[in-house]
Amino acid sequence: MKLGLPLGLLGLLAIAILLLIYILKPKYQEQSVSSTYVWRLSLKYKKAKLPFQWLKSSLLLILQLTILIMISASLARPFIVLDSKSSEKIIILEASASMLAEDAGGTTRFDRAVNEIIKLCDQIDGKERITVILADDSAKYLVRRESSTGFIKQHVLSSVCAFVAPDLDGAINLAQSVLNENPSSEIVLYTARKYNDSGNIIVKNMAASEWNAAILNFSSERVNGYFNFTANIAVYGKNIDKLAVAFYIDGLLIDTSFITCKDEKATSVVFRHTKKVSYSNAHIILEANDSFLYDNSFYLFDGDADKFKVQLVSDTPYLLRTILNVIGKTKIDEIRATPEDIGGVTVYPPDPKYSGYDLYIFHGYTPLILPNDGAVWIIAPQIHTVIEGSGETDNHLVFGGEDFVSSDSTLSAAGEGTLSDTYLQIMDEISATDITISRYVALESYGGYERLLNYDNHPVLLTKTDNGVKIIVFAFDYHDSNLPITIFWPALINNLSNYSLRNTTMNHIYDAGSKVELNARPGTTHMKLNTADEQSQQFTQFPASINVEYPGIYTVEQTPENYAKTDNFFVRVPESESNFGRNGGTLKQVFAISNPSIDSTLDNETYDIMIYLVAALALILAIEWGVQYREQY
Amino acid sequence: MKNQIINDEFISRLETMTLHMQSPMQGYFGGNHRTNKYGSTVEFADFREYMLGDDIRRIDWNLYSRFEKYFIKLFVDERQMHLQLFLDCSASMHKGNSNKSIYALKTIAAIGFLSVQNMDKTSVRLIKGDFADDLCGLITGKESFYRAMSLLEDSDFHGTANIENAIINCPGMGSNDGLTVIVSDFLTESNWKKAVDYLLYKNRQIMLIQVLSPEEINPAFSGRMHFKDSEASDPLDERNMKMKITRSNLTAYKQALADYIADIKIFCTKRGVLFFSVNCDDPIEKLIFGDLYEMGTIR
């Protein structure tokens, strides 16, 4: 209800005057009588006090106060504003995951909201302008200040709900922009939440009696060498005494646990004693027929701890092997670089492989060919000159040079001026001037390599990326330096590992709507992404970036030159969207800036209630007159 | 205060009436009220056989000649009554409506005139506080009556009147010798019933006349009232009371008054006491020539 003349409420001041009259007027009239004897006797004849007797004695005052209040209300010209005749409507359609909850008939909240908007369009039938804002993870206009019903319906019907948290603030900002153009616009929000304070936004809650059983989180932890798995589960909108949780590892059912979920509180369930030291995938499934199934399963793909396969060709692999194991990202296959004399018998090591590994480390060994499906570290290469006509490939790995016994100079950063990003990444936390070497190979030609460290103007640490393959060349053996006994040794190997070995994706779990960067393995020319909604995308440029909208398992297939590699990651529904009962709190306020050129009052249909007020006033006046008469006579 | 009590016209009507005792009394010698004893009036009552010691002048010789026995004549004895008139001179008898006091005075005067006319002794006592003041001693004869009336005209009504103490402490009450009339509104906490019982003990005939004003019979107040009792000595007197006059309160008042009057009637009836409750706005003739005549108190 609104007031046409709020100043009319000043009439309420008369209440103070009335009360003053009651206070000031003589309460008791003095009357001299011959005797009060009979009056005193009559007190015994009065009826027993009933509850609220005071109300009866104050009835006249109450009636008079009511009359004054009603007169004031009448002066204020009250009327009821009907909400169906606004000149323009701004509709915010929430397109979040919770709007995808289905009712018993399979209709989602989003569908119901769309139907209501369509009905509204039919009602208005082009007489008013409508703006529809879709509030998914990034609010946008579907239509802006349009009056064409067909156009509006087409865009509304083609809108899609996402598995994301809604950007309502952004949507309200867009609504504010329209409101600034027409302050008399009415803003309607179709949502699935209640709000404590929605300000002047009309909230239409599309929630029916849906309920949701959700896996909020699922993780693994290595305890005493074996994996334990922990899940957080909650049920919203219902209490369940026995909810079945099935747990699988690598496709095999390991255990089924039954939990109780009440009062919308999260419950933890832990699967221990799995006797698993590694796994490819682990997942849990809730056996519940709720209104929203997209958060009823959860997958983990980090059981192999991202182990990169490393081939280490070295006669003295101990130092490198140790430090790589400490870093923990690698699984190392070792091969001797040179034949070994065992009991007078010369044992020839197997030939190194040039494919199938993520990292090839050649220590004191010059590879015949350069692998192209993984990173390559060449440490202290043998000097080798390609003999013309020998058939060996001139792979530009090492070009001439002789051993030099150095003086005791330390290394220094190569290059002048600003250090490159590569240098900064590899030499992070490492002080070059604290590294000394006693022996190195002077490289005469190193086409295309970036020099990272110098010794006496000779490059001793170089890097190059060739067709996606990252190559690191140490022109010295770390045994001929003080590196292994410095604090820089683990940092250097860790930096080199991070530089050389990159996962296809940074994480294995993403929220729907987030951006995922896909890194290709060395030598990958082609990457195929199979999405959870059974679509596929192809990539040839790397790193590739995608927005994952749909919850579920995503598979990345890479085809480096010699083998195919598959990586998986899981996209989940944001935890906030699983909570169906969550209160939206307070909506961002919108302000209608008064525009004198628009007469907003004409646009609203009003219903005058003055007649009812006056009728009630007349009735109360009659009652008050009756009470007065009764009291006096 | 000068009150004109009765006029000549009223007196002329009273002269045709006499006060009649409801029951025989002992009284005084020389009155007009018969007793059950034989006296020396001229009205023949009965014969009796002569006994030694009787006055021989009473012997009826006609009877002797007839029966040759000696019989004496007996005559009716008439005694003189002592009428005691008690008037409540408290403030309640005048404040609020002066007609009430005037009516009370008229009642005293009328009954007193009847008594005097009957050659009975009359005394008028004004109840003031705990005592009944004698107005002017015994009134016998019309001259002393008129003198008493002129004194009565000057009487004023103020303060309280304790009927119980005034009557019980009244000297010279007498016994079985007449009528006591108490004129009051009887709106008092004092135990006037005890006074009535005392008078009954004294073998007096009793008449109570309650005079009420129209305001007392049918009050017409409204709103919030602070009643000040005319006999209250100070504002904090507990007889002063505050009340919101509503219809239910007025109904309760009337019921209380009716029950009070009925209670007095029952009390009086049980004791053979005459009781009249009158409205002071009614003419005095209605009481004297109406109610009293109907009861046989006057003839």
- CB-nearest to B226 from A28, A40, A43 is A28
Average of per-residue pLDDT values in chain A:
84
d(CA B88, CA B231): 13
Of A334-338, A403-407, A417-421, B125-129, the least confident: A403-407
Interchain CB contact of B261 with A (< 8 Å) = no
End-to-end Cα distance, chain A: 41
Kindly report the nearest CA distance between residue B4 and chain A, in angstroms: 22
Print burial letters for A521-553: b (CB count within 10 Å at least 16), e (below 16): bbbbeebebbbbeeeeeebeebebebebbbbbb
Q: At what angle do helices A109-124 and A149-157 cross, to 10 degrees?
A: 180
**Cβ–Cβ gap A28/B249 under 8 Å:** no
Work out the pLDDT band at A600, boundaries 50, 70, 90: very low
Q: Are A271 and A257 in contact (CB under 8 A)?
A: yes
Q: Are A425 and A463 in contact (CB under 8 A)?
A: no
- The predicted structure's pLDDT at residue A395: 47
Print burial letters for A7-25: b (CB count within 10 Å at least 16), e (below 16): ebeebbebeeeeeeeeeee
Structure tokens at A498: 């991070």
* A-contacting residues in B 221-260 (Cβ below 8 Å): 221-231, 239-244, 246-249, 251-253, 255-257, 259-260
- The predicted structure's pLDDT at residue B234: 86
Of A167-176, A236-245, A284-293, B114-123, the least confident: B114-123
Which helix (H) or strand (E) segment is A76 a member of? none
- The predicted structure's pLDDT at residue A118: 93
Of A378-382, A497-501, B6-10, the least confident: B6-10
Q: Are A102 and A110 in contact (CB under 8 A)?
A: no
Q: Are A555 and A566 in contact (CB under 8 A)?
A: yes
Work out the pLDDT band at A181, boundaries 50, 70, 90: confident
DSSP secondary structure letter of residue B148: H
Q: Are A249 and A279 in contact (CB under 8 A)?
A: yes
Give me the helices (H) in chain B, please. 8-14, 61-67, 98-117, 142-153, 163-168, 192-201, 214-217, 247-271, 284-285, 293-295
Question: Closest Cα to residue A555, out of A536, A574, A573, A576?
Answer: A536
Which helix (H) or strand (E) segment is A101 a member of? none
- The predicted structure's pLDDT at residue A446: 76
Q: Are B27 and B33 in contact (CB under 8 A)?
A: yes
Q: At what angle do helices A59-75 and A610-632 cross, to 10 degrees?
A: 160
Kindly report the nearest CA distance between residue B245 and chain A, in angstroms: 8
d(CA B256, CA A40): 9
- The predicted structure's pLDDT at residue A22: 80
Chain centre to alpha carbon of residue A337: 50
Q: Chain A contacts of B187, Cβ < 8 Å?
A: 34-35, 37-38
- The predicted structure's pLDDT at residue A591: 73
Question: Closest Cα to residue A336, out of A370, A365, A358, A301?
Answer: A365
Helix (H/G/I), strand (E/B), else coil: A371: coil
Region A39-58: mean pLDDT is 71
Q: Are A69 and A61 in contact (CB under 8 A)?
A: no
- CB-nearest to B226 from A31, A630, A632 is A31
Kindly report the nearest CA distance between residue A12 and chain B, in angstroms: 27
Q: What is the pLDDT of residues B39-91, one digit of tens each?
A: 666 677 677 888 888 888 888 888 889 888 888 887 766 666 788 999 999 99
Q: What is the pLDDT of residues B252-294, one digit of tens each?
A: 999 999 999 999 999 999 999 999 999 999 999 899 989 888 8
Work out the pLDDT band at A394, boundaries 50, 70, 90: very low
Region A47-60: mean pLDDT is 65
Q: What is the pLDDT of residues A567-580, one digit of tens each?
A: 899 999 998 888 87
- The predicted structure's pLDDT at residue A500: 86
Nearby residues of A26 by Cβ (< 8 Å), 6 or more positions away: none
Q: Are B168 and B201 in contact (CB under 8 A)?
A: no
DSSP code string of A453-502? EEETTEEEEEEEEETTEEEEEESS-GGGBSGGGSTHHHHHHHHHHHHH--
- The predicted structure's pLDDT at residue B174: 77
Q: What is the pLDDT of residues A341-371, one digit of tens each?
A: 888 888 888 888 888 888 999 998 878 788 8
DSSP secondary structure letter of residue A99: G
For chain A, percent of residues with pLDDT exceeding 70: 88
Only one residue has tokens 């007096």, namely B204
Q: With a cut of 70, say whether residue A86 has pLDDT above it.
A: no
d(CA B215, CA B236): 24
Q: With a cut of 60, say whether residue A308 has pLDDT above it.
A: yes
Region A65-93: mean pLDDT is 79
For chain A, percent of residues with pLDDT exceeding 90: 30
- The predicted structure's pLDDT at residue B2: 46
Question: Closest Cα to residue A134, out of A107, A171, A89, A100?
Answer: A171
CA atoms within 13 A on the CB side of A572: 22
- CB-nearest to B252 from A29, A34, A46 is A46
Q: With a cut of 90, say whether residue A109 has pLDDT above it.
A: yes
- The predicted structure's pLDDT at residue A593: 63
Print burial letters for B200-219: b (CB count within 10 Å at least 16), e (below 16): eebebbbbbbbbbbbbbbeb
Q: Are A379 and A504 in contact (CB under 8 A)?
A: no
- Give every strand in the sheet of A78-81, ordered side by side: A2-3, A78-81, A606-608
Work out the pLDDT band at A598, boundaries 50, 70, 90: very low
Record the pTM.
0.52
Q: What is the pLDDT of residues A118-132, one digit of tens each?
A: 998 888 877 788 999
